[in-house]
Each structure stands twice: as structure tokens, then as C-alpha cells.
Amino acid sequence: MKSALALSLSFYLGCAASLPAPSIPPPVIEIEPVSRVEKEIIHFEGRPFRQEMQFVTGSFRQMMRQRNQHSLEGVLGFENSTESLEYNYDTSIFCDFDTQKKFDGKITLEYSQIQGVQGKYQITVVTLTDIPPFGSVDKIEIRIDGLAKNPIYAAYNINSKAQHFYETLVQKLSQELKQHQVQHHNGDTFPLTKFAEDEQGKIHHSYKKVAQLLKDNKPLSLKKIPIYNPCP
């Protein structure tokens, strides 16, 4: 997966001249634990989220077959924003580092926000990892670097706001894929680097809640961080 910093900076620098200077205060939220074992799929905006998840993964697999690839990655840059979403779907077999349990594929979403002044930047990246059965977050991490006075890289317990953020991002991918199919009658031509609209700032607000939640709570110890690597 390409560097989220490099990809996000390319979006930021490419449209910085036309964008207002970001003034996004640190978000504040509280934690609500959710079991990693019970992967409950909720309804999203009146539609079963499982259906949205299946549509996105099915569309991505079709695109991979067309390209003769086993993985797919792309970026959505949000208009009038310094935020972007990098997504990766890899159909390889992955193993849990501790249990060696095998999983058929892995989805990784990296949501990045850049704040910059006079050519100097701070980037915050929230990474969400999902392993089969797809539809709920199995791992959440945050990285803050660049100009940050106190750089952070840590993983945290899964919570309901992280799950909602994940569903919001998947819903956006589903929306973009459906719009493209309607307009072009061919999902295989979906551009893997494009701009999209964050309607009513819904994604941004969900991101703010999750980012501050992670920064305000205790991270997992190294022994408790789930690791999913390609199986040997």
C-alpha cells in the first residue's frame, strides 16, 4: 500500500490554491466498547450494510479480474477539503500472527487529514482493517506525524464510533461505484484516483469523533495488537 502521507500530500498540494485554509479543531468524544468477536452488521441509512459491503467487494473483485490483479488500491480526495481516503482490497490469504488462523483477503482503509502552514504539514491518519467476514472493523490505528509536537502511532480497542466511521466510508465507496456504473455502464473503468463530495460533512464529522476518541484513550499494548500478515 502506498504511503498515505505521499498520496494525501499530492491531493493537498494539487488543490491547495483553491481551498480555504483548514481550521479544524481537535474533536472530542467518549469511548463505547464493542466486542470484536460479535461482528454484528447493522442497517445503514435504511439499507442493510451487509449489502453495501458485498456490492463494494464484488465490484472490486470484478475490477481485479479485468486487470488480472489480486489486489486493488485507490484514493478518494474530498472536494474543498484537506482530507482523503485511501482504500486497499487484497485477496491474498492472510494469517493472524498469534493464532495462525487464515483469512481469505483483507480490506484496509486509511483516512488522512493534512493541516499545513507555509509549506509545513501535520498529517493524521486513521487506519481501519477488516478481515472476513467483511463488514466490521477488526483493527483500528492512528498515526500523527509531520509537524506534530507529540507524534503518535498506536492501535486501540474497537468501539461503536469506529464501526460507524467504517460504515460511512464503505457507504461512500458504494455510492461512487454506483454513480459511475450508471453514468458509464461499466464498472471496470472506475477511476482509482478521483475527487468526491463529502455531503454535509458527514464523513468529516465521523472522522473527528474517532480521531479524538483514539487520542484521548489508552492504546493497546504491543502484545494485544492484532497482526494480519500474508500467510507463508
* 60 closest CA partner among 197, 190, 184: 190
- Residues lower than pLDDT 70 in the chain: 1-47, 148, 186-188
Helix (H, G, I), strand (E, B) or coil at 224: helix
Rounded Cα gap, residues 48 and 56, in angstroms: 13
How far CA 184 is from CA of 16, 37, 190, in Å, comes to 30, 40, 9
* 138 closest CA partner among 74, 94, 204, 76: 94
Helix (H, G, I), strand (E, B) or coil at 227: coil
Rounded Cα gap, residues 185 and 49, in angstroms: 24
* 151-185 tens-digit pLDDT: 889 999 999 999 999 999 999 999 999 999 888 87
**pLDDT score at 39:** 41
**pLDDT score at 101:** 96
**pLDDT score at 45:** 47
Rounded Cα gap, residues 165 and 88, in angstroms: 16
**pLDDT score at 37:** 34
Rounded Cα gap, residues 175 and 194, in angstroms: 13
Cβ-contact 108, 127 below 8 angstroms: yes
**pLDDT score at 216:** 86
DSSP string, 75-117: EEEETTSSEEEEEEEEEEEEEETTT--EEEEEEEEEEEEEEEE
Tell me the HSE value of 36 on the side-chain side, using a 13 A CA sphere.
Answer: 14
**pLDDT score at 22:** 40
Cβ-contact 126, 111 below 8 angstroms: yes
* 202-212 tens-digit pLDDT: 999 999 999 88
